[in-house]
Amino acid sequence: MNTKEERSTFDYIIVGAGSAGCVLANRLSADCQNSVLLLEAGGGDRHPLVAMPLGFLKMLRNPKFIWNYKSQPEPHLNGRQILIPRGKMLGGSSSINGMLYMRGHPGDYDEWARLGCKGWSFADVLPYFKRSESNWRGEGAYHGATGPLSVSPIDTTHLLHMPLMNTAAVAGHAVSSDIDGDVNTGFARGDVTIDKRGRRASSSRAYLRQAMRRPNLTVQTKAVTQRILLKEGRAIGIEYRHDGVLRQVYANKEVLLSSGAYNSPQILMLSGIGPADELRRLGIPVELDLPGVGRNLSEHPRVNVDFEALVPTFVEQLRLDRAIASVVRWVIKGKGAFATQINSANIVLRTQPELERPDIQLLCNPVHMLSDLWFPMWRRRMPYTFSVSICQLHPTSRGWMTLASRDPLEPPRITLNIFSNPEEFATVRRGIRELRRIYRLGEQGKMTGKEIFPGEGVDSDEALDEYIRANAGVTQHPVGTCSMGVGPDSVVDPELRVRGIRGLRVIDASIMPTVPGANTNAAAIMIGEKGADLVLGRTLAPASR
């Protein structure tokens, strides 16, 4: 798909139409004087499964929709390779994710400022979160009401929500009406990026579709970037391959990388910008020795605990006849079981009272993530299950990625390196034990049967650690591989300019110096909003707190 007639020179070239790239394309092309080219290696996003919120369960397993990366054998997970699906279409991973909207604790962003990222404290970034939002709560101190991105509450009709929420007080935890507001710890009804018509609000649907009508914005899909064109220490354009043809396009002003935590550093290294030894290993001429490229990879570790449910769960909505009716209702009215995702509650907790920020997130699902359509005499129904993901919010382990070859289509070599710090095992153990306690209390306890996985007998520190090593994965929230900062290991400065190269910025989740304690899509969109202003030489005033 090329939305405009071909030309070779633009003011701005954006590489990657993901969470941040679509924001950039919208904001930069809003001025009709700016000509903008947006390049995307994947395809379009018009498939019904993309628009249907429950479709994410199918897309995460289908190579039509994802770049199906996997890690190298993980040194602290028994040498297992971890699957890493990334979005393969307009909207990037915002088109395949679970749509949970969550920013994290204000201290997550204040930490960035303490690390030298001036202009990135919570007070600095809050106006950009608000500008992006059309939040169901309306305009307020923490939320916006007129932005492109629809944020709505999860429709909990079929999700056994209230028994879990009513258990919070019994378990000694707060209930938060807004986990991104004043009470940012406790049990909450999740917010999701789903619009009023019951359609997924990816960054493409929220930001790009309206902008694609503009004559000064060109969008090219299935365009695989080969390298950044450099001249005398300046980025002057991009070389990409489309339909087997190698093309070069040039930027009058800037080249903006928004290809995500794995592909932005990959493109830098393919262009000769990165750790010199790694580049020489593959015969890539070194344009700039920048050791931090591909380093500082941070991810949220995740492990699941499953319980038998003593009551019917969401799997009943997957019975074929009901599913067909739900799809029809979704198409016509944007309502019903397929118009939402499957979190009963979004719970963030401190597992030690002295902690300043929550360290564990519990994603509580009244169905197993691998559940499928079923019908008597056709396919057996999966058991009634409560499946809970325990996610560590502030990991200290750092991984890395590098090139496997000079072929841009060959997945990079990714080592997540999660659980390299023994304290991370201790944090997740505490999370598992607190989860077990919660699910045996109050109304939730009355619905919860035996523990299926790992099983109640797996309780000692040693047994839980072995369970984690054998089963842990990640939440698909990679950040940090083009880290923002002021030290020698940083890749971009607080203006998101690549150190040592003029006319080149990275604007996506890869610039986060640490991972926020939340699903990262909201923060990536905020980075796109703030990054666009930095490119245009302006900034919103910090919020008063």
Residue 38 has pLDDT above 90, yes or no: yes
Quote the mean pLDDT of the chain: 96
Q: Categorize the per-residue pLDDT at 1 as very low, low, confident or very high, splitting at 50, 70 and 90.
A: low
Domains, the chain, in order of start with CATH, read 7-101+200-296+479-544 (3.50.50.60), 155-189+301-392+420-471 (3.30.410.40)
Q: How far is CA 269 from the centre of its chain?
A: 23
Residue 486 has pLDDT above 60, yes or no: yes
Q: Summarize pLDDT for 303-355 with one digit per residue, the tens.
A: 999 999 999 999 999 999 999 999 999 999 999 999 999 999 999 999 999 99
What is residue 3's predicted lDDT score, i.e. its pLDDT? 57
DSSP state of 314: G
What is the pTM assigned to this prediction?
Answer: 0.97
Q: Where are the beta strands (DSSP E) in 243-325?
A: 245-257, 273-274, 288-289, 301-309
Q: Summarize pLDDT for 347-368 with one digit per residue, the tens.
A: 999 999 999 999 999 999 999 8
CA distance 265 to 481: 6
Residue 370 has pLDDT above 90, yes or no: no
What is residue 377's predicted lDDT score, i.e. its pLDDT? 86
DSSP state of 497: B
Is residue 173 flagged as an active site residue?
no
Residue 2 has pLDDT above 70, yes or no: no
User: In Å, what is the CA distance from 104 to each residue of 120, 125, 303, 347, 394?
Assistant: 14, 12, 20, 12, 11
Residue 250 has pLDDT above 60, yes or no: yes
Q: Summarize pLDDT for 379-389 with one digit per residue, the tens.
A: 999 999 999 99
What is residue 544's predicted lDDT score, i.e. its pLDDT? 83
**Contacting residues for 457 by C-beta, under 8 A, at least 6 apart:** 463
Residue 5 has pLDDT above 70, yes or no: no
Residue 4 has pLDDT above 70, yes or no: no
**Contacting residues for 311 by C-beta, under 8 A, at least 6 apart:** 160, 384, 447
DSSP string, 334-383: S-SGGGS---SEEEEE-SSTT-SS--EEEEEESS-TT---BBTTTBPPPP
CA distance 373 to 398: 39
The one-letter code for the residue type at 226 is Q
Q: Summarize pLDDT for 71-96 with one digit per residue, the tens.
A: 999 999 999 999 999 999 999 999 99
Query: Which has more pLDDT, 2 or 477?
Result: 477
What is residue 277's predicted lDDT score, i.e. its pLDDT? 97
What is residue 545's predicted lDDT score, i.e. its pLDDT? 60
What is residue 61's predicted lDDT score, i.e. its pLDDT? 84
The answer to whether residues 384 and 313 touch, using CB atoms and an 8 Å cutoff, is yes
Joined tokens for residue 278: 């790694």
Question: Strands 413-415, 224-231: parallel, antiparallel or unpaired by DSSP?
Answer: unpaired
What is residue 98's predicted lDDT score, i.e. its pLDDT? 95
Percent of the chain at pLDDT exceeding 90: 94
